[in-house]
Amino acid sequence: MKVTQCTGEGMGSCKRCSDNGKWNMNWMCFLYKIEGYEGCYCSDCVKEIKAEAGDKCLEN
């Protein structure tokens, strides 16, 4: 799973936090893109997504 820093200036929001109804605004330099996922994500959500992806790999 490839994680890269989002580019751009100003502020953006974490897609996963927004989808879960949590208000979340971060500077773009603190948001990350995950290969295979649409949108940018905060560091907390990146950790959770990586953990979930690891759990799914262990189940298969």
> For every one of its 60 residues, what pLDDT tens digit does the chain have, with 9 covering 90 and above?
899 999 888 999 999 999 999 988 999 999 999 999 999 999 999 999 999 888 555 444
**pLDDT at residue 55 in the model:** 57
pLDDT of residue 56: 59
Tell me, what's the pLDDT at 51?
92
Q: What pLDDT shows up at residue 1? A: 81
From residue 49, alpha-carbon distances to 8, 9, 10, 11 in Å are 23, 25, 25, 22
SS3 call for 29 = helix
